[in-house]
Amino acid sequence: MTLIAAEWVVISAAEPPRRGFAVRVEGDRIVDVGTTDQLRLQYPGDELVDHPGHVLLPGFVDAHTHLYGVLAHGIPTHLAPTDFWSFLDDFWWPRVENGLDHDMIAAATAWGAHELLAAGITTFFDILEAPFALPEALMVQKAAVDAIGIRAVLSFEATERVSSANGRLGLEENRRLLEDCRRSPGLVSGLVSFHTTMTGSPAFIRDAFELAAGQGVLCHAHVNESRHEPEWCLRHHGLRTMELYESLGVELERMLASQCVQLSPREQAIISERGVRCVHMPLSNCEVGGGIAPVPELASAGVTMGLGTDGYITDFFEVMRGAFLLHKARLTDPSVMPARQVLEMATEGSARALGLEKVGRLQPGWLADLQLVRLDLPTPSTEANLFDQLVLWRNRRDVTDVMVGGRWQVRNGSVVGSDVARLRARVAENAERLWAKT
């Protein structure tokens, strides 16, 4: 058994931070929390891991990423996309997703999982779209994740944009992974994912939701990442995106909706009334010119909100700062999205959005997924300002140690057993192969 002590312990963003506390870990769980002095007296035989000048807090949960996206970092572009559809149709699909193969997926996943761990992320949800890498693309990804030792929820983003038959292969890929995870439970789990209303027929969307219901998991889709999808739905179906989903009679309580940027008041009401879970990607929404999602409004309506990197910027401290700042500017109100709320979205909120149990708190009975962050700041850290100090003034380089399921995966800033140079070289080699295809 291990006692982990720090100057400050954040049990949950919903509670005040505790000074001079420690947590006790046994197996893959937290079994006790209390003052360091109290726990040392109570468990004198435990190993003590003491980190003065640090804060101990739950590991981050990246509720939406595309690890294969690293292969496109810096890819030469002759013409910048002019709008969101151009970004997909002229650039992302032909130059990135359509060229992916198993070796590229394995290399990008290994590098991405390493980068997430080093940044204090203990769980991530990945959406893989590689229509010409089917079948077995998810099994390749799962093997890479298993080798790193990070908690992951994997999915294949099924789409009919190539063909109806390819869309069916994508749904089958999700089913195959889910069955494999049930046969061999571990750190990897799955859910069902499809792209959008623009790239899947109503019958295809119903089939995706039915597959998710039959497997007892969530069904994920990107929703209104820009104005394009709701306008497309209005032209083709006479309804906006969430109105179309409601009209299809699918089980919206099972839906995980990412982006949710351009929402009408009625769409916001549907999300709230039907219990749709949402994930916010503040920085990637800026990159594609999609807009700023109405996150404060959704949260005020009781919507479960998570936070994601979208495979863009993987420093979760930067992502949190984006969520902290953008909504203040949009609403001209500095009181919205306080640091406590943003930190909650980055931990327990994201875990709830993904349907994960006992993830995102340092509480007895919960999984021992945690991180230690340096507090060598030029100003004092107090109970009143600690969340602001973390969200505003820390970065991934300040993460020193990370535990996943009771096992140390990062010590003194280095991912345990990871050959960074080899991982980087493998990504570079596969990026060159991808870029050469177009």
Q: List pLDDT tens digits, range 352-404.
A: 999 999 999 999 999 999 999 999 999 999 999 999 999 999 999 999 999 99
Domain with CATH 2.30.40.10 in the chain: 2-58+361-413
pLDDT in tens, 51-60: 999 999 999 9
Number of neighbouring beta carbons within 10 Å of residue 54? 23
Mean pLDDT over 273-277 rounds to 98
Whole-angstrom distance, CA of residue 118 vs CA of residue 60 = 11
Number of neighbouring beta carbons within 10 Å of residue 203? 11
pLDDT-derived band at 80, boundaries 50, 70, 90: low
Whole-angstrom distance, CA of residue 179 vs CA of residue 298 = 34
Provide φ and ψ at 348, rounded to 5°: -65, -35
Whole-angstrom distance, CA of residue 1 vs CA of residue 5 = 13
pLDDT at residue 90, as a whole number: 85
Amino acid identity, position 385: N
Q: Is 161 helix (H, G, I), strand (E, B) or coil?
A: coil
pLDDT-derived band at 170, boundaries 50, 70, 90: very high
Angle, vertex CA 201, rays to CA 199 and CA 205, nearest 5 = 95
Whole-angstrom distance, CA of residue 186 vs CA of residue 404 = 12
| Helix intervals (H) in 302-436 | 316-331, 339-344, 350-353, 386-393, 420-436
Q: How many Å separate Cα 30 from the centre of its chain?
A: 23
Domain with CATH 3.20.20.140 in the chain: 60-353
pLDDT at 431 over 80: yes
Mean pLDDT over 229-255 rounds to 98
pLDDT in tens, 97-147: 999 999 999 999 999 999 999 999 999 999 999 999 999 999 999 999 999
Mean pLDDT over 142-155 rounds to 97
Whole-angstrom distance, CA of residue 113 vs CA of residue 118 = 9
Question: Are 270 and 276 in contact, with CB atoms under 8 Å apart?
Answer: yes
pLDDT at residue 337, as a whole number: 98
Enter the CATH code of domain 60-353: 3.20.20.140
pLDDT in tens, 313-361: 999 999 999 999 999 999 999 999 999 999 999 999 999 999 999 999 9
pTM exceeds cut of 0.85 = yes
Is the pLDDT higher at 77 or at 177? 177
Question: Are 18 and 11 in contact, with CB atoms under 8 Å apart?
Answer: yes
Question: Quick one: tokens of 70?
Answer: 């690293």
pLDDT at residue 405, as a whole number: 98
What is the helix (H) or strand (E) element at residue 284, kind and residue range? helix 282-287
Mean pLDDT over 212-232 rounds to 97
Whole-angstrom distance, CA of residue 6 vs CA of residue 55 = 6
CATH of 2-58+361-413, one of 2.30.40.10, 3.50.50.60, 3.40.50.720, 3.40.50.300: 2.30.40.10
Q: How does the average pLDDT of the chain come out, rounded?
A: 96
pLDDT at residue 438, as a whole number: 67
Nearest alpha-carbon partner for 156 in 105, 104, 210, 92 = 105
Length of the chain: 438
Number of neighbouring beta carbons within 10 Å of residue 204? 20
Question: Are 386 and 10 in contact, with CB atoms under 8 Å apart?
Answer: yes
Question: Are 204 and 167 in contact, with CB atoms under 8 Å apart?
Answer: yes
Whole-angstrom distance, CA of residue 221 vs CA of residue 15 = 32
Which residues, listed in sequence order, are joined to residue 54 by a DSSP beta bridge?
Answer: 374
pLDDT at 192 over 80: yes
Question: Are 146 and 118 in contact, with CB atoms under 8 Å apart?
Answer: no
| Helix intervals (H) in 184-254 | 202-215, 228-237, 241-248
Helices (H) and strands (E) in the chain, counts: 17, 18
Amino acid identity, position 411: R
Task: Give the end-to-end CA distance of the chain in Å, rounded to a whole number.
Answer: 54
